[in-house]
Amino acid sequence: MNDLRQPHGEGDLLKRLEQLNRIGIALSQERDITRLLETILIAAKDITRADGGTLYRMTEDRTLQFEIIRNDTLGIAMGGTTGVEIPFYPIYLFDQDGKAVNTMVAAYAVHHDQSVNIADAYTEEGFDFTGTKNFDKKTGYRSTSFLTVPMKNHENEIIGVLQLINAKDLATGKVVPFSETDQQLAESLASQAAIALTNRLLINQLEELFESFINLINTAIDDKSPYTGGHCQRVPVLTMMLAEVAIKADSGPLKNFALDEKQLYELKLAGLLHDCGKVTTPVHVVDKSTKLQTIYDRINLVDARFEILKRDAEIELLEARLAARERGGDTGALERAFGERLARLADDREFLRKCNIGGEFMTPQQQERVRKIAQYPWRDDRGQSANFLTEDEIHNLSISRGTLTHEDREIINNHVAMTYKMLSALPWPKHLKNVAEYAASHHERLDGKGYHRGLTGDRLSMQARIIAIADVFEALTAKDRPYKPGKTLTESLQILGRMAQESHIDPHLFDVFMREKVYLKYARQFLDPAQIDDVDVGKIPGYVPPPAR
């Protein structure tokens, strides 16, 4: 046995304590739950010199589920990072009548909250080792010594069980019982492991809760407008696609660009939150599909005024007819003038309806015609004389391109300022301190002509530039916008290429976006088949394809 009473026992114990300390540090640094569980079991095997072992985790329905199995002699490695599924049923802690099961060693350790150290399973009484013996018959293995240790968290709750099998003598390699020292080291490791596991689970739960809250905000933003639905979900996906290929670049300006796991998570959160400021943007501006739209399309009010002008014209005609008949005059000229007036009103009405759509460029002559129509005299609902169109209606109908006025654009552009304000107010941990800067810079340009801070390229992080490309490409290809159908890949890449040439977006990121066909990977996941055309990369501005090999 390996105990303090053995020769060199103190030196051996010191080494194992040092090993336990190193293991504790490693456990506290591991972020992945699967690797953490695997590390726990392997460390327990090493420190007790066990030939094999199993790690169980407590489930919500109070069973012990197999998580990791290892056996050196048999070459068995199941669960964990192996990808090999464990084919065993969980261990039930209670029978069908609700009574505690104490015949299974692992269940006994849980119910009695104590370690169980068995020298020889074949001679031990009080436990059911039928399954173990059947396993031995099939494999030719001899399961002898067992050390079963419950894992308790900081609240003294058992969250799992470590079970080690067949301790080996360091000198002879023979199977021996687990010593008292082995048990103490295993219990110490189990305690550290339980705390590390609990901490990681809590951190993961907090991260999941935070991401769920972010998705809740994004869902509210996307549902706020039927025309931007999905934007907040798609942009972070494309952001991470582009980041992954940028990191792998082995030449050019991106050769030294690297992000570790924490930095990638920081970028992911920034992508998810890049439009959170839109919660403050009025719906009627986000959804402004026509020039006169507010919470409703005011073109209907203009239509009603035309109907009033027609009614007034009809009344004037009737009055003129009566007067002509009293004089015995001809009404033919009156009828012709009335017909011309109605035709002019109908033409002007149709003209304003087309202006309201805002899909085409509006000439100065058309803008002047709007102002002339605005001067039609009419009486408002109070019976007072007024101009046919209000100053606000003239301003909106005269928009030269699209449906947004300068004021509307300022309101929409303000969402990035609000994004920065909102995110900067949060107490971010050190590894997430740049989320606000990355998220709120996706409308900045390398030439400094972007918004909201007008940052130039030397002040723009690579992460912000990645989100900027993702945001633009998603907007170009989106098929749910009020002012345009989703563009094809070729159309979108041509626009993106010109933006790279004009220092709107990062040309090196655009280059890797094209070279690694990130656009195609994204398209296959999110675009309609009709949008995925054959892209002739040689005709995309701002991109030079690598020479054929």
Q: Which helix (H) or strand (E) holds 78?
A: strand 76-79
Domain extent listing, the chain: 9-203, 225-278+425-539, 299-403
Q: Which residues contact 499 (CB under 8 A, 6 or more apart)?
A: 472, 505, 510, 542
Coil/strand/helix, residue 525: helix
Coil/strand/helix, residue 17: helix
Q: Classify residue 447 by its DSSP letter.
A: B
Coil/strand/helix, residue 149: strand
Count H helices and E strands in the chain, helices first.
Answer: 18, 10
Q: Classify residue 93 by its DSSP letter.
A: S
Distance CA 127, CA 121 (A): 9
Class of domain 9-203: alpha beta
CATH fold of 225-278+425-539 reads Hypothetical protein af1432 (1.10.3210)
Smallest Cα–Cα separation from 493: which of 545, 547, 433? Answer: 545
> What is the full per-residue pLDDT of the chain (549 aa) written as tens digits?
344 334 445 567 667 767 766 777 666 766 778 888 888 888 889 889 999 999 999 998 889 999 999 999 999 999 988 989 999 999 999 999 999 999 999 999 999 999 999 999 999 999 999 999 999 999 999 999 999 999 888 788 898 999 999 999 988 989 999 999 999 988 888 888 888 888 888 888 888 898 888 888 878 777 776 656 678 889 999 999 999 999 999 888 899 999 999 999 999 999 999 988 888 877 777 667 777 777 777 888 888 888 888 888 888 888 888 887 777 667 778 888 888 888 888 898 898 888 888 766 788 898 899 999 888 887 777 777 878 888 888 888 888 877 777 887 777 778 888 999 999 999 999 999 999 999 999 999 999 998 888 888 889 999 999 999 999 999 899 875 555 677 999 999 999 999 999 999 999 999 999 999 999 999 999 999 999 999 999 999 999 888 766
Chain mean position to CA 436: 15
